[in-house]
Amino acid sequence: MNSVNEIGNLVQDPELRYTSGGTAVTQFNIAVNEKFNGNEKVHFFPVVCWRKLAEAVTEYQKKGQRVAVSGRLEQQRWEDSDGNKRSVIKIVAHNVDFLSPKKGNGREMPVEKEPPIEETFPTDDDVPDDIPF
């Protein structure tokens, strides 16, 4: 089983791009706080969203907002220009819940549950070679 669920805050605004085939893709990082025996640790996880989910996250989420991400872990391996082997583990999201309250007229409004946006995962043919994540 390959499943992961994390709640954290966006470290930067999501960046929407399109593959050469026109498929929407966005990447962002989330900061997840962990408290254990009075100590606090922060973990940073890269997240990738595809298609309608990518477009929705980019339109409605900004740096600092809280999200719940559900998806799977994926490891990408490559060799850099110096011949060093590199790898990164990222979360490929199939659902992102928006947890930060919406704001209007200077007041915080109650959190409205966004309908979950479920996505199918791209095939290897959908992933362009020029996206370095």
- Give me the tens of pLDDT residue by residue for the chain, a chain 133 residues long: 999 999 999 999 999 999 999 999 999 999 999 988 889 999 999 999 999 999 999 999 999 999 999 999 999 999 999 999 999 999 999 999 999 887 644 444 344 444 455 555 555 556 556 555 5
The CATH number that applies at residue 64 is 2.40.50.140
**Amino acid identity, residue 107?**
R
Q: What is the structure's pLDDT at 88?
A: 92
Q: Is residue 115 part of a domain?
A: no
pLDDT of residue 36: 86
* 129 within domain boundaries: no
What pLDDT is stored for residue 101 in this prediction?
Answer: 83
Rg (CA), the chain: 16
Domain assignment of residue 123, yes or no: no
Q: What is the pLDDT of residue 96?
A: 95
Please report the pLDDT score of residue 132 as a whole number.
56
Distance CA(83)–CA(62), nearest Å, equals 36
- Nearest-angstrom CA–CA distance, 90 and 72: 8
CA distance readout (Å), 114 to 22, 36, 54, 81, 86:
26, 31, 15, 43, 37
pTM (two decimals): 0.72
Number of domains in the chain: 1
Q: Backbone phi, then psi, for 57, in 5-degree steps? A: -60, -45
Encoded tokens for 68: 């719940």
Minimal CA–CA distance to 26: which of 53, 6, 2? Answer: 53
CB 25 within 8 A of CB 54: yes
Residue 66, classified by CB atoms within 10 Å of its CB into exposed (0-12), middle (13-18) or buried (19+), is middle
Range of the domain at 37: 4-108
